[in-house]
Amino acid sequence: MTKLLEWISVISAVFAVWYSLIGGYVKHPMIENNMNIVLVSPIIFVLLFGLYAVTVVLYRVFTFNNCEEAAKELQVEIAEARKDLLDKGLKW
């Protein structure tokens, strides 16, 4: 199954549950009393997920390792390499 089909199946399943709730196929006082929340629940879910995504991405951006040490080490090695290659007779 492709990833697209996986997504379609899961979303359809969730949609079917939601539709049975708002369509009144499942009778329960808790659902009837909170019909407004049930109605907008997909939007709430999408918003919450968006918030989660933005938080995770921003956190990872700000904690992205800058590798200052690696950059410095590389500069030192480049200088060493230039000197050594010059000694070995490389012209470039």
Partner 1 sequence: MAATSLDSEITKSDKYSILLPTYNERENLPIIIWLIMKYLDKSGYDFEVIIIDDGSPDGTLDVAKQLQKIYGSSKIVLRPREKKLGLGTAYIHGIKHATGNFIIIMDADLSHHPKFIPKFIELQREHDYDLVSGTRYKDGGGVHGWDFKRKLISRGANFVTQLLLRPGASDLTGSFRLYKKDVLQKLIDSCVSKGYVFQMEMIIRARQLDYTIGEVPITFVDRVYGESKLGGSEIFQFAKALLYLFATT
Footprint on this chain of partner 1 (rule: CB under 8 A): 2-4, 7, 53, 56-57, 60-61, 64-68, 70-71, 74-75, 77-78, 81-82, 84-85, 88-92
CA distance 49 to 56: 10
Shortest separation between residue 12's beta carbon and partner 1, angstroms: 17
Which class for 71: exposed (0-12), middle (13-18), buried (19 or more C-beta within 10 A)? exposed
Shortest separation between residue 16's beta carbon and partner 1, angstroms: 22
Q: Based on CB atoms, which residue is closest to partner 1, 24 or 72?
A: 72
* Backbone φ, ψ for residue 63 (5° rounding): -100, 10
Q: Based on CB atoms, which residue is closest to partner 1, 43 or 68?
A: 68
CB 42 within 8 A of CB 50: no
